[in-house]
Amino acid sequence: MSRSIAILFAAAGTLMLGACSAGDSSLSASQSATVNASAADVWETIGDFGDLDGWHPAVASTEITTGTNNEPGAQRLLTLGGDGGTVTEELQAYDADGMSYTYTIVDGVLPVADYRSTITVMPAGDNSSNVSWSGTFNAAGADDATATETINGVYKAGLDNLKGMFAE
Look at residue 83 in the predicted model and tell me its pLDDT: 86
Angstrom CA distances, 99 to 35, 68, 126, 137, 144, stand at 15, 18, 18, 23, 30
Q: Sorting pLDDT into bands at 50, 70 and 90, what band is 168?
A: low
For 109-141, how does the pLDDT look when each residue is reduced to its tens digit (9 = 90+)? Answer: 999 999 999 999 999 988 999 999 999 999 999
Q: Kindly report the CATH class assigned to 27-165.
A: alpha beta
Q: Is the pLDDT of residue 7 over 50?
A: no
CB count in 10 Å sphere of residue 93? 11
Mean pLDDT of 69-83: 96
pTM of the model: 0.84
Mean pLDDT of 134-157: 97
Give percent of the chain above pLDDT 70.
85
What's the CA gap between 49 and 43, in Å, rounded?
11
- Looking at the chain, list the stretches that DSSP marks H as alpha helix, in order from N- to C-terminal side: 2-24, 39-46, 144-165
CA atoms 50, 51, 57, 61: torsion sign: positive
Domain ranges of the chain: 27-165
What's the CA gap between 3 and 7, in Å, rounded?
6
Helix axes 39-46, 144-165, angle to 10 degrees: 120
What's the CA gap between 149 and 151, in Å, rounded?
6
For 10-46, how does the pLDDT look when each residue is reduced to its tens digit (9 = 90+)? Answer: 333 333 333 333 445 699 999 999 999 999 999 999 9
Neighbouring-strand partners of residue 108: 87
Strands 75-80 and 100-108: unpaired
